Amino acid sequence: MPFEPLMTAVVETTLNTLIKEDDELVRRLSRLKGRVIQIHFRELNKCLTFVFSQQIDVLSQYEAEPDCYLSLNLSVLPQLRDQANITKLIKQDQLQLEGDIQLAQAFSALLSDCRPDPEEWLSKLLGDVAAHTMVRGAKSTFDFVSTQMDKHQRHLGQVVTEEWKLAPSPLEIAAFCDDVDVTRGHSEQLSQRIEKLQEQITLAELEQSRSVHDAE
Protein backbone atom coordinates (compact mmCIF):
# COMPACT_ATOMS: atom_id res chain seq x y z
CA MET A 1 0.00 0.00 0.00
CA PRO A 2 1.40 3.47 -0.86
CA PHE A 3 2.46 5.64 2.05
CA GLU A 4 -0.25 8.33 1.82
CA PRO A 5 -3.29 5.97 1.77
CA LEU A 6 -1.72 4.02 4.61
CA MET A 7 -1.13 7.19 6.66
CA THR A 8 -4.67 8.51 6.11
CA ALA A 9 -6.17 5.10 6.96
CA VAL A 10 -4.22 4.89 10.22
CA VAL A 11 -5.11 8.45 11.28
CA GLU A 12 -8.76 8.03 10.34
CA THR A 13 -9.19 4.67 12.08
CA THR A 14 -7.38 5.83 15.22
CA LEU A 15 -9.37 9.06 15.57
CA ASN A 16 -12.75 7.47 14.98
CA THR A 17 -11.99 4.62 17.38
CA LEU A 18 -10.97 7.01 20.16
CA ILE A 19 -13.95 9.32 19.59
CA LYS A 20 -16.48 6.46 19.71
CA GLU A 21 -15.12 5.50 23.13
CA ASP A 22 -16.16 8.88 24.62
CA ASP A 23 -19.76 10.15 24.44
CA GLU A 24 -18.65 13.75 24.96
CA LEU A 25 -16.30 13.54 21.98
CA VAL A 26 -19.12 12.06 19.89
CA ARG A 27 -21.32 15.07 20.75
CA ARG A 28 -18.53 17.51 19.90
CA LEU A 29 -17.92 15.78 16.59
CA SER A 30 -21.61 16.07 15.69
CA ARG A 31 -21.37 19.86 16.07
CA LEU A 32 -18.69 19.90 13.35
CA LYS A 33 -20.79 17.94 10.86
CA GLY A 34 -20.44 19.25 7.30
CA ARG A 35 -17.26 21.21 7.99
CA VAL A 36 -13.86 20.64 6.36
CA ILE A 37 -10.43 21.53 7.69
CA GLN A 38 -7.17 21.05 5.81
CA ILE A 39 -3.80 20.93 7.55
CA HIS A 40 -0.41 21.25 5.90
CA PHE A 41 2.22 19.57 8.07
CA ARG A 42 5.49 21.34 7.41
CA GLU A 43 7.66 18.49 8.68
CA LEU A 44 6.26 16.17 6.02
CA ASN A 45 5.33 18.76 3.41
CA LYS A 46 2.00 16.92 3.16
CA CYS A 47 -1.62 17.98 3.49
CA LEU A 48 -4.35 16.04 5.25
CA THR A 49 -7.98 17.06 4.87
CA PHE A 50 -10.46 16.20 7.64
CA VAL A 51 -14.11 15.98 6.58
CA PHE A 52 -16.59 15.85 9.46
CA SER A 53 -19.83 13.85 9.34
CA GLN A 54 -20.97 11.08 11.69
CA GLN A 55 -17.27 10.28 11.68
CA ILE A 56 -14.04 11.86 10.48
CA ASP A 57 -12.90 11.08 6.95
CA VAL A 58 -9.21 11.75 6.34
CA LEU A 59 -8.16 12.48 2.77
CA SER A 60 -4.74 13.03 1.22
CA GLN A 61 -6.29 14.66 -1.88
CA TYR A 62 -9.04 17.29 -1.76
CA GLU A 63 -9.86 19.70 -4.58
CA ALA A 64 -12.61 21.86 -3.04
CA GLU A 65 -12.09 24.86 -0.77
CA PRO A 66 -11.88 23.89 2.93
CA ASP A 67 -13.59 25.91 5.65
CA CYS A 68 -10.24 26.31 7.34
CA TYR A 69 -6.67 25.88 6.13
CA LEU A 70 -3.69 25.56 8.46
CA SER A 71 0.01 25.29 7.77
CA LEU A 72 2.04 24.41 10.83
CA ASN A 73 4.35 22.01 12.61
CA LEU A 74 2.58 19.18 14.36
CA SER A 75 3.85 20.36 17.76
CA VAL A 76 1.95 23.65 17.36
CA LEU A 77 -1.48 22.04 17.03
CA PRO A 78 -2.31 21.75 20.77
CA GLN A 79 -1.60 25.46 21.25
CA LEU A 80 -4.57 26.38 19.04
CA ARG A 81 -6.99 25.54 21.84
CA ASP A 82 -6.21 28.94 23.33
CA GLN A 83 -7.26 31.69 20.93
CA ALA A 84 -4.70 34.02 22.52
CA ASN A 85 -1.93 31.85 21.07
CA ILE A 86 -3.07 32.18 17.47
CA THR A 87 -1.89 35.76 16.88
CA LYS A 88 1.43 35.00 18.59
CA LEU A 89 1.99 31.89 16.48
CA ILE A 90 1.20 33.76 13.27
CA LYS A 91 3.64 36.57 14.17
CA GLN A 92 6.31 33.97 14.95
CA ASP A 93 5.69 32.36 11.54
CA GLN A 94 4.76 29.11 13.26
CA LEU A 95 1.24 29.18 11.87
CA GLN A 96 -0.46 30.16 8.64
CA LEU A 97 -4.22 30.23 9.03
CA GLU A 98 -6.94 30.95 6.47
CA GLY A 99 -10.66 30.68 7.16
CA ASP A 100 -12.62 29.81 10.30
CA ILE A 101 -10.49 30.21 13.43
CA GLN A 102 -13.14 28.69 15.69
CA LEU A 103 -13.16 25.52 13.58
CA ALA A 104 -9.39 25.25 14.05
CA GLN A 105 -9.80 25.63 17.81
CA ALA A 106 -12.60 23.07 18.01
CA PHE A 107 -10.62 20.55 15.98
CA SER A 108 -7.48 21.12 18.04
CA ALA A 109 -9.44 20.56 21.26
CA LEU A 110 -10.96 17.39 19.82
CA LEU A 111 -7.54 16.00 18.91
CA SER A 112 -6.03 16.94 22.27
CA ASP A 113 -8.78 15.11 24.15
CA CYS A 114 -8.51 11.95 22.03
CA ARG A 115 -6.25 10.18 24.46
CA PRO A 116 -6.26 6.37 24.50
CA ASP A 117 -7.00 4.66 27.81
CA PRO A 118 -5.23 1.29 27.63
CA GLU A 119 -6.76 0.13 30.92
CA GLU A 120 -10.28 0.73 29.63
CA TRP A 121 -9.56 -1.13 26.38
CA LEU A 122 -8.00 -4.07 28.21
CA SER A 123 -10.89 -4.25 30.65
CA LYS A 124 -13.22 -5.11 27.79
CA LEU A 125 -11.03 -8.07 26.91
CA LEU A 126 -9.76 -9.22 30.31
CA GLY A 127 -12.06 -7.68 32.90
CA ASP A 128 -11.51 -4.70 35.20
CA VAL A 129 -9.29 -6.41 37.78
CA ALA A 130 -7.00 -8.08 35.24
CA ALA A 131 -6.72 -4.90 33.16
CA HIS A 132 -5.86 -2.77 36.19
CA THR A 133 -3.29 -5.33 37.34
CA MET A 134 -1.70 -5.52 33.89
CA VAL A 135 -1.49 -1.73 33.44
CA ARG A 136 -0.11 -1.26 36.96
CA GLY A 137 2.41 -4.04 36.35
CA ALA A 138 3.47 -2.52 33.04
CA LYS A 139 3.95 0.87 34.70
CA SER A 140 5.97 -0.68 37.53
CA THR A 141 8.11 -2.54 35.03
CA PHE A 142 8.72 0.64 33.03
CA ASP A 143 9.65 2.56 36.19
CA PHE A 144 11.98 -0.27 37.29
CA VAL A 145 13.69 -0.42 33.89
CA SER A 146 14.12 3.37 33.83
CA THR A 147 15.62 3.33 37.33
CA GLN A 148 18.01 0.50 36.46
CA MET A 149 19.10 2.26 33.27
CA ASP A 150 19.90 5.40 35.27
CA LYS A 151 21.89 3.34 37.79
CA HIS A 152 23.82 1.53 35.06
CA GLN A 153 24.58 4.81 33.35
CA ARG A 154 25.97 6.31 36.56
CA HIS A 155 27.92 3.12 37.29
CA LEU A 156 29.40 3.09 33.80
CA GLY A 157 30.51 6.68 34.27
CA GLN A 158 32.25 5.75 37.52
CA VAL A 159 33.94 2.71 35.93
CA VAL A 160 35.19 4.74 32.97
CA THR A 161 36.62 7.53 35.12
CA GLU A 162 37.72 5.71 38.30
CA GLU A 163 38.50 2.09 37.37
CA TRP A 164 39.35 1.98 33.69
CA LYS A 165 40.86 5.49 33.78
CA LEU A 166 39.58 6.08 30.25
CA ALA A 167 38.36 9.54 31.14
CA PRO A 168 39.37 11.94 33.94
CA SER A 169 37.03 12.65 36.79
CA PRO A 170 35.76 16.20 37.40
CA LEU A 171 38.17 16.59 40.36
CA GLU A 172 41.09 15.45 38.22
CA ILE A 173 40.15 17.92 35.51
CA ALA A 174 39.95 20.75 38.06
CA ALA A 175 43.33 19.77 39.58
CA PHE A 176 44.89 19.62 36.11
CA CYS A 177 43.59 23.11 35.29
CA ASP A 178 45.05 24.42 38.58
CA ASP A 179 48.42 22.83 37.75
CA VAL A 180 48.36 24.41 34.31
CA ASP A 181 47.73 27.83 35.86
CA VAL A 182 50.59 27.36 38.34
CA THR A 183 52.97 26.19 35.61
CA ARG A 184 51.99 29.13 33.44
CA GLY A 185 52.73 31.53 36.31
CA HIS A 186 56.14 29.97 36.93
CA SER A 187 56.91 30.08 33.22
CA GLU A 188 56.06 33.78 33.05
CA GLN A 189 58.24 34.52 36.09
CA LEU A 190 61.16 32.56 34.60
CA SER A 191 60.76 34.38 31.30
CA GLN A 192 60.91 37.75 33.07
CA ARG A 193 64.06 36.72 34.98
CA ILE A 194 65.74 35.59 31.73
CA GLU A 195 64.92 38.93 30.08
CA LYS A 196 66.44 40.82 33.02
CA LEU A 197 69.60 38.68 32.90
CA GLN A 198 69.91 39.32 29.17
CA GLU A 199 69.60 43.06 29.78
CA GLN A 200 72.27 42.89 32.51
CA ILE A 201 74.64 40.89 30.24
CA THR A 202 74.11 43.38 27.42
CA LEU A 203 74.88 46.33 29.74
CA ALA A 204 77.98 44.58 31.07
CA GLU A 205 79.26 43.93 27.58
CA LEU A 206 78.72 47.60 26.66
CA GLU A 207 80.58 48.76 29.77
CA GLN A 208 83.48 46.40 29.02
CA SER A 209 83.64 47.62 25.42
CA ARG A 210 83.83 51.26 26.56
CA SER A 211 86.56 50.49 29.06
CA VAL A 212 88.71 48.84 26.39
CA HIS A 213 88.11 51.77 24.04
CA ASP A 214 89.09 54.32 26.73
CA ALA A 215 92.29 52.36 27.54
CA GLU A 216 93.41 52.50 23.93
Q: What is the 3-state secondary structure (H, E, C) of 15-82?
A: HHHHHHCCHHHHHHHHCCCCCEEEEEECCCCEEEEEEECCCEEEECCCCCCCCEEEEECHHHHHHHHC
When mean pLDDT is compared over 23-32, 102-111, 158-167, 176-185, the highest value belongs to 23-32
pLDDT tens track for 151-172: 655 655 554 455 545 455 566 6
Read off φ and ψ for residue 58, nearest 5 degrees: -110, 125
User: Which superfamily, per CATH, for 3-112?
Assistant: SCP2 sterol-binding domain (3.30.1050.10)
pTM of the model: 0.54
Whole-number pLDDT of residue 14: 84
pLDDT digits (tens, 9 = 90+) for 48-80: 999 999 999 999 899 999 999 999 988 887 888
Question: What is the phi/psi pair of residue 14, to 5°?
Answer: -65, -50
Phi then psi dihedrals of residue 117, to 5 deg: -115, 95
Are 40 and 72 a contacting pair, CB within 8 Å? yes
Range from 9-18, 160-169, 186-195 that averages highest in pLDDT: 9-18
Contact 66, 36 (CB under 8 A): yes
- Is the C-alpha dihedral spanning 75, 145, 14, 131 positive or negative? negative
Q: What is the Cα–Cα distance from 146 to 97, expressed in whole angstroms?
A: 41
**Mean pLDDT computed over 31-43:** 93
Angle of helix 23-30 versus helix 101-112 axis, rounded to 10: 160
Give the pLDDT confidence of 126-158 residue by residue, as tens digits: 566 554 564 455 455 445 545 655 565 565 555
Summarize pLDDT for 77-118 with one digit per residue, the tens: 788 877 778 888 988 999 999 999 889 888 888 887 876 655
Query: At 15, which amino acid appears?
Result: L
**CB 70, CB 89: distance < 8 Å:** no
